[in-house]
A and B are shown apart, each in its own frame.
Chain A
Amino acid sequence: MNRPGRTDRRLWLMLAVAALASIAWLALTFALVAATLDPVQRAAAFELIGPHLALVGLTWAGGIAVIAYGLKRWFDFWVTPSVRLAEEAQILLRTDVVRELVPAGNPETRALARLFNQLVEQRETLRHEMDSKVHAAAQRIEEEKSRLAALMAELTQSVVVCNLDGRILLYNQRARAQFRDFAPPGQVTSPGQGAAGSGLLGLGRSIHALFDRQLVEHALENVRQRMRRGAPQPSAQFVTITPAGQLLRVQLAPVRPAASGAAGQDIAGYVLMLDDVMPDYEQQAERDRALQALTEGSRASLASIQAALEMLDFPDLEPVMRERFLRVVRDEAQAMGERLKPLVSEASERLSSRWPMEDMLGSDFVTAALHRIEQQAGLSAREAEIDPAAWLRIESFSLLQVLVYLSARLQDELAVRFIQLRLQPVPSGSARLHLDLMWIGPAISTETVMGWELDPVRIGQESYSFSVRDVVERHGGALWFERDRASHLSFFRFLLPGVASRQAATPTEAPVAEPVGRPEFYDFDLFSRSEQASALDDRPLLDLVYTVFDTETTGLNPAGGDQILQIGAARIVNGKLLRQETFDQLVDPQCMIPPAGIPIHGISQDMVRGQPNIERVLPVFHSFSRDTVLVGHNAAFDMRFLQLLEAGTGICFDQPVLDTLLLSALVHPSQESHRIEAIAQRFNLAVQGRHNALGDALVTAEIFLRLIPLLAEKGIHTLGQARAAAQQTYYARLKY
């Protein structure tokens, strides 16, 4: 399709100049001739020429037409070939495409094209030499990596390495197998997912699909605090429940930046080591529960027996009372025996686990709590008296959630707007601490306190599997409500375990994990990324993770009831197309496939029979493309299908979208076609599997990777710039 470009405008300009010049020449000729005639002759001449002025105009127009034709031919021969040559030469300059330029147009341009071809040939020779050297070096590194990969494979622990944004840049086989086991039941898997396993774990994918973002960030903050304090082996532990309900103990150790890394960055990423602790904790919890029941039950019985025996010591005891006390002794002894029996074999129905406690400076914890209460509960929060030397031994994540939860309920139910936190050692001199959540206002009834203690903790839309009481008991602590009537000060008092001295606490820190070897699934370049540093729109195009996708559909009219038949997608991470992490899924459209389309997409009714419907496929694709930028060729078309499905499935693809059709039009405004085949030809790409969703997605991905340097040449470096520029191109006006 032709577009009015720079060349055309110049052509029109020259034609306008020619038209104006010829009119000026004609006017001047008339004026000079008129000046040499006397008035009678002039009148006679006007009378003679007047009726034939139309003829003059006609010959003038004819002349201009001839000039226009000549100019167009001149442009086509002298100007357009050099403009196209410049665009094609840009491709050779900015990409590693090897393609011979076809000489066209005038002799000078043809000579230039031949010259370019010679230069490309020369460059390729040099590149081959360099490639062979790089190849030799890469082979040495590869051998090293293989040795490390073998080491990782031997590890019985699951290891996942992430950058600061939570993007996975390494995982071992064990982790992959573990997360495949942990995938929620009933999940759609597609044969194309390959190394992605269950689809939850993949290079460049967000770890937050597996672990709560706040939980990981909290652990990272703890590690940072330890690093600031100069702890030699800073790491943090937390326990979490996977989507499938397994209990995992996670140890997080920081990966520090290399000496040459960015200044001021304390952590480049982190290593997560995962253990399935479900069986251990179940056993432990069961033992604890049995032990507690036995202890408390036995104490009561022993108390009754001891008291009864001591009554029997009275010499003047009446026989009736003596018999009653003896019966107490017999009954209680029997009851103790009965109590022991079921404890041995009783299986636990409920999971209550021992959670890892961490030593934390009390003031650090209070600071974190105040920040979180203000942020999540929306109250104003300040610290009251804080003992600067107090250390807590706590599971800080759940305890923080409890404080936020209680603050939110105080605000919602008692209209409390301001709270204070106080942390003081228990006066008795034990290692315990009083943590008080204080407010000025009404007292709370015992029933209300009990309700708040027993309800599952819920913050906003997030609800957790534990209650306040669970968390307090997990700490071996206590909680009660108190009120100072004189000052109208009410407070929840937590009795929490402390640490007697910091020296005693240090050895409990888990050993640091050195960055372990590189297994087969890795991309360490991701370390240099940080989403936190800048908004997505400000990020360089090369730094983003993309899901390049395509759909095959029953027809071209999404609003008219056409349905998706197939979704294919591939991921680009760190400027590399990951061919092993793809998504390829046929979809049962639950309607007849129009026969006219079958020769194009090649999907017949038989092929979609037994395949999942779009309601099942879409959540999996949504999860696959989570936290990435979507890329498509003529993406508006595919996005329209996805948008129409929003209402029915509740799944919204709200991430940024880039369109290779628009980007191609942007970098090559003079090219006639921006169809996939034409662009692929320009980039010398082989097109295979055209009109197969995955095939098209892979070609689109290759095209996109080659467009990025050409966009940079146009001054388009960030996602925001690319989106803005694409919107302005001609094709952006197409609507489906």
Chain B
Amino acid sequence: MSATILIADDEPNILLSLEFLMQREGYRVLVARDGQQALDTILQQRPDLVLLDVMMPLKSGFDVCQAVREHDELAGIRILMLTAKGRDTDMAKGLALGADDYMTKPFSTRELVDKVRGLLGARA
């Protein structure tokens, strides 16, 4: 059975490309357009990996990440943070709050696919 990926981003244009890309890679794709929707989807659908934008309405990616890491039963979910915030302090904060990896926008989709594969492979 193929892995499930949740893409959480409030930018429809990036969402379009990432959704297309991940489906093409053979994953089952879920999308969320704000932080609260992302958290609800994670709790209900238990995706294998979340591509999590930082700056989203309602709840930031940091908050979602921290909330996920507070649940033991969600420990297996991989989180890859994507953000336009380029400061290394933001990256440090994301990793400290439990993200597995971090990519700064803009990024190469090839690199993204590699990271996703890597994270899901590590999980398997």
Residues of A within 8 A of B (CB): 295-297, 299-300, 302-308, 310-311, 314, 321, 324-325, 328, 331-332, 426, 428, 430, 432, 446, 476-478, 480-482, 493, 495
Contacts and interface: CB of A to CB of B under 8 A. Distances in A.
A303 B107 contact: yes
B84 interface: yes
A629 B97 CA distance: 58
Minimum-distance CB pairs A-B, first 9: A303-B105, A307-B17, A299-B84, A304-B13, A302-B106, A303-B106, A478-B93, A310-B109, A306-B106
Q: How many B residues are at the interface, by size bracket? A: 20 to 34
A328 B12 CA distance: 9
Q: Which secondary structure characterizes the binding site on chain B?
A: helix
Nearest to A485: B70
Contacts of A299: 84, 86, 104-106
B93 A480 contact: yes
B14 to A, nearest CB: 4
Given A299-B84, A430-B88, A328 B93 contact: no
Nearest to A483: B70
B95 to A, nearest CB: 9
23 contacts: A299-B104, A306-B108, A306-B109, A307-B14, A307-B21, A307-B106, A308-B13, A310-B17, A311-B109, A328-B16, A328-B17, A331-B13, A476-B87, A477-B89, A478-B92, A478-B93, A480-B93, A481-B66, A482-B96, A482-B97, A495-B89, A495-B93, A495-B96
A710 B28 CA distance: 98
Interface string B76-93: 000000101111111011
B102 to A, nearest CB: 13
A305 B106 contact: yes
B14 A303 contact: yes
Given A303-B105, A480-B62, A295 B86 contact: yes
B96 A328 contact: no
Most chain B beta-carbon contacts within 10 A, residue among A303, A324, A493: A303
Given A302-B106, A306-B108, A480-B93, 13 more contacts: A295-B84, A297-B84, A299-B86, A299-B106, A300-B11, A304-B11, A306-B106, A308-B17, A430-B88, A432-B89, A476-B87, A495-B93, A495-B96
B14 A304 contact: yes
B105 A310 contact: no
Contacts of A325: 16-17
Nearest to B62: A480
Interface of B: 11, 13-14, 16-18, 20-21, 24, 55, 59, 62-63, 66-67, 82, 84-90, 92-93, 96-97, 104-110
A478 B59 CA distance: 17
B108 A300 contact: no
Nearest to A447: B63
A493 B89 CA distance: 12
Contacts of B24: 314
B78 to A, nearest CB: 20
A20 B16 CA distance: 125
Given A299-B84, A446-B67, A480-B96, A304 B17 contact: yes
Nearest to A313: B109
Nearest to B59: A446
B106 to A, nearest CB: 4
Contact of A310 (B66, B82, B110): B110
A296 B85 contact: yes
A300 to B, nearest CB: 4
B97 to A, nearest CB: 6
Contacts of A478: 89-90, 92-93
Contacts of A482: 96-97
A303 B108 CA distance: 8
A432 B13 CA distance: 35
A327 B123 CA distance: 36
